[in-house]
Structure 1
Amino acid sequence: MKKIALIYMGGTFGCIGEPLSPMPADAFLPKLKHVLPLDMHIDCFVAPAIRDSSACTAPDWLALIQQIQSLQLQHYQHFIIIHGTDTLSYASAVLAQFMGQSAHIVLAGSQYPLLNIQGDNTREFTDAIDNLNFALTSVLKSSVGVYLAFHHQLMHAQTVLKVHTTELRAFDGLDANKQMKPVLTPYIVQDADINRSAQFNCISLMWQPLSPELQCQNLRNLLADLPDVIILQGFGTGNIAISTELINTLKEIQQHGCAIVLTTQVSFGCIDQRYAISAWIKDSGLLLSNCLGHADLYAKCLKMYLQYGSAANWATHWNDEVI
């Protein structure tokens, strides 16, 4: 019988009380074990950080990956991750970018807690048990890779996006049965990576229908303390109306060591430069997103930051594993 490692990381799934807050892991796991299928070999583990997922950051996910990679050395190859829904798409993308095709990993969460307010019994209405059982079945049937299981949908983890705040069908993404070129090579996470990731600073700017002059002013406000990467979310296929001043500002930002990545604010689909308004991009030095969504782009930038350091090295490796 295949061993499954179930790692609990908090989220609505394990919340109790009013207002909802994560139940302490040592109290929650015995309750969780009562609802696990008896015909599966499931070992439960506590993630390095238990918190509301809206508070999760890169070090939390990298510590989780390090835990998974440690469990792989103990001959676990099938993993269920219980995670909160607020940043579940980001957790999914980071695991996909860093784990590659090295294990069978399914993330899951819920819109309603497993337990009642008191935490002494299962909730009368919950999607937690259903989502968990679906994830457990999926992790044994799916091929190697990272997936999200939610409301009877199994999706490629790099593509998922939370599309509803309260409905049971809270996520959308590419169906796991459809072909996708995944990240192949895993990244072995070290303690130094976790520590360094705490300094990773990424700003995503959703382009607004403003004049190039105002856009330029907004960008120049960042010059005093630039992040590691600025993600520009253009319109449509990545279109941005430009001016000479704006081009010069973007170049100045790049000269200060900040990477600039162009993507689209549209949820699904790739960017391209088939419109004349985007002709300037060819000689701009901007990195063009080849990712499968906003969370996937964040995850790739984090990985580039850890692998290659300064933005000057990013361009050389940006298309090493084109999705």
Structure 2
Amino acid sequence: MELLQAMRIAIINTGGTISCIGEPLAPMSAADFADASVRMLNPILTHQFPDLEIGYLINIAFPESSGATLDSTNLQPTDWCIMAKGVLTNYADYDGFLVLHGTDSMDFTGAALPFLLNAFDENGNGSAVLSKPVIITGSQVPLYNKKSGNAELTINFNTDAFQNVCGAVASARTGVPEVCAYFQNKLYRGNRILKTSTSRFSAFSSPKYPALAEYGIELKLFNEHWLPGPVHDSVSLDNPDVLARQQAMVDSIAENIDHYPVAQLNAFPARYSRNTVSAYMADMISAIVSTGASGLILESYGEGNFPSGNPDSPSDGAIYQALNNATNKGVNLVDCTRVIGGSVNNSAYASGAWLPQVGALSSADMTPMSALAKLMILTSFGSIQGWSRDQLRAMFQTNLAGEMCSVNSLDSRTNAVLMPSQSICTLDGSARLTNDQAAGPVLIAVSNDTLLWSLPVVPVAADLPGRLVMQDDGNLVFYSRYNKAIWASNSGTSVGASSKLVLSGHYDVNSPCQSKLLMQVFNYATNTCAARLYQTP
């Protein structure tokens, strides 16, 4: 008889509705919840999954709560570090982790944990990479039922709590190497979720990124949307040295993060006066800055439009001046959108085009929750590492853990193809590589359309339009419409080389010699440049 290899899943109960009981609802302690689950939940799960072993990490406590668990309404940034440390401390002993969490701030925790369970070098490449599933779930109704003090505790079977726990455990067994959120039959990327309902069991959605799995009659995996995990053992959290380094990093961030608070400010109709240069929202911005904020997330209208305080001359507006003053004082501004779908494109309208002038960074398609968590954690980590402000701003606009679309790169393991009419650009938007339908890939200076680079081999009209592909062997290849290789960077290796095409730096059309624009094939498996396609003199 063949013995099954045990699949070990650890459950961390942080609190929330899922672990509340009684009338009115009150939280169970982590120990009481674990005891009830061992008696009533474990037999059901192990009947479905005979190889499953479940451990309950009951010593992970939140100091601000006398009961150790915590309603997610009261979570602080340091509590993200407590959860991350709980995973890292027990990482070697389990194959996956299930985090039970309240729904109020689950989208913030889902955004924060990927930046605490992964680390990145100055190029945005993973230096410590999560290799196991961390699944966050919760519920709209409790998992257990107890009508009175003397009543026997029972499972609420026909509820989202029971279904979500079962689905989250099944999802953890897949080995998906990232932080996810499971809710109402769907597995989502954790830093892409939004709470979109207070009353439906489908409380969360992911408008800007597809689901990673869906539970119907069986669990259907959409692994083409998964993060690929560590590129090599040398950066995997399975490596004891990497794990120890990440634990130390989280400890340092926990000590540091409260010094770098980030606030969110929603765009809303409010009083302003263009003649006296005053505005209610400008006063709010100044007040936020005066509290010591290190960052400000603007939840703008539409594609990234924010009131300036003067419709005809934004730079004369009180809001413009308040934001500009914030930037000059070291506050990092981020332009997000309060719209749940789509991306930020503040250049589309004059009412948003002024925001880069005051230093506002584009968030692409990040959620405001991801933008807040990312900026706070990167600012804290960057202060420890001695990053310059420019380094921090570049890292913020780089896709690190799947939280945003990659605006300046093609990655062989995730977004590998540039289709006709698609483009990538530098983080500041000064140069753009476009796969032109009539010319193939062309690199241009955006402000005056100066051609900087094109394929060394000129495609004939019959070959176009084509595809530019960053292959996992390290070769950047342009294929014709009939899938014939027209040109290659010749940077590949026979043993494979996970790589990305990166467009970085800045191009100044008025001072080309002062520009620092670089387009390269970067082999991030070996952390080396494999091919330099363009570099300003």
Equivalent residue for 1:41?
A: 53
2:298 maps to amino acid: L
Match of 1:217 among 263, 277, 283: 283
* Partners of 1:297 and 1:136 in 2: CA distance: 28
* Partners of 1:207 and 1:182 in 2: CA distance: 36
Match of 2:334 among 236, 239, 261: 261
Equivalent residue for 2:137?
A: 108
1:112 maps to amino acid: V
* Partners of 2:350 and 2:226 in 1: CA distance: 30
Match of 2:250 among 178, 183, 190: 190
Equivalent residue for 2:90?
A: 71
Equivalent residue for 1:278?
A: 352
Cα offset for 1:62?
0.8
**Shift in CA distance, 16/298, structure 1 to aligned 2, threshold 3 Å:** same
1:41 maps to amino acid: E
Is the CA contact 1:58–1:197 (under 8 Å) kept in the aligned structure 2?
Answer: yes
SS in structure 1 at match of 2:307: coil
* Partners of 1:166 and 1:126 in 2: CA distance: 13
SS in structure 2 at match of 1:141: coil
* Residues 133-184 of structure 1 deviation map (CA, whole Å, 9 limit, x = unaligned): 1111111125211111111111111111111112111111131136376897
147-156 or 222-231: bigger deviation: 222-231
* Residues 258-291 of structure 1 deviation map (CA, whole Å, 9 limit, x = unaligned): 1111111112221012223322234322122145
TM-score of the pair, normalised by structure 2: 0.56
255-264 or 222-231: bigger deviation: 222-231
237-246 or 106-115: bigger deviation: 237-246
Cα offset for 1:125?
4.6
* Residues 50-96 of structure 1 deviation map (CA, whole Å, 9 limit, x = unaligned): 11111111111111101111111x34231111111111111111112
1:93 aligns to 2:111 (yes or no): yes
Cα offset for 1:116?
1.3
Cα offset for 1:218?
3.1
Match of 2:321 among 234, 243, 248: 248
Within a 5 Å distance, the mapping from 1:25-174 to structure 2 comes to 25-33=30-38, 34-36=40-42, 37-38=45-46, 39=50, 40-46=52-58, 47-49=60-62, 50-72=69-91, 74-100=92-118, 101-102=129-130, 103-117=132-146, 118=148, 120-123=153-156, 125-173=158-206, 174=210
Number of matched pairs: 322
Is the CA contact 1:259–1:311 (under 8 Å) kept in the aligned structure 2?
Answer: no
TM-score of the pair, normalised by structure 1: 0.90
* Partners of 2:18 and 2:264 in 1: CA distance: 29
Higher helix share: 1
Is the CA contact 1:257–1:311 (under 8 Å) kept in the aligned structure 2?
Answer: no
1:237 aligns to 2:303 (yes or no): yes
Equivalent residue for 2:408?
A: none
**Shift in CA distance, 181/287, structure 1 to aligned 2, threshold 3 Å:** farther
Equivalent residue for 1:175?
A: 211
* Partners of 1:25 and 1:285 in 2: CA distance: 45
SS in structure 2 at match of 1:147: strand
Give the unaligned 5+ runs of structure 2: 1-5, 63-68, 119-128, 213-221, 238-245, 274-278, 309-313, 405-537
Equivalent residue for 2:432?
A: none
1:131 maps to amino acid: N
2:225 maps to amino acid: Q
* Partners of 1:45 and 1:145 in 2: CA distance: 20
1:156 maps to amino acid: R
SS in structure 1 at match of 2:182: strand
* Partners of 2:354 and 2:55 in 1: CA distance: 54
Is the CA contact 2:264–2:298 (under 8 Å) kept in the aligned structure 1?
Answer: yes
Equivalent residue for 2:528?
A: none
Q: Highest CA radius of gyration, 1 or 2?
A: 2
1:307 aligns to 2:381 (yes or no): yes
Cα offset for 1:31?
0.5
* Partners of 2:229 and 2:191 in 1: CA distance: 9
* Partners of 1:209 and 1:183 in 2: CA distance: 44
Match of 1:4 among 9, 16, 26: 9
* Partners of 1:125 and 1:179 in 2: CA distance: 30
1:205 aligns to 2:265 (yes or no): yes
* Partners of 2:185 and 2:322 in 1: CA distance: 47
**Shift in CA distance, 55/152, structure 1 to aligned 2, threshold 3 Å:** same
**Shift in CA distance, 223/160, structure 1 to aligned 2, threshold 3 Å:** closer
* Partners of 2:53 and 2:227 in 1: CA distance: 31
260-269 or 180-189: bigger deviation: 180-189
Cα offset for 1:211?
5.0
* Residues 4-39 of structure 1 deviation map (CA, whole Å, 9 limit, x = unaligned): 111111111110122212111222211112212122
Higher strand share: 2
SS in structure 1 at match of 2:188: strand
* Partners of 1:270 and 1:298 in 2: CA distance: 16
* Partners of 2:253 and 2:32 in 1: CA distance: 31
268-277 or 23-32: bigger deviation: 268-277
1:179 maps to amino acid: H
**Shift in CA distance, 304/124, structure 1 to aligned 2, threshold 3 Å:** closer
* Partners of 1:182 and 1:87 in 2: CA distance: 27
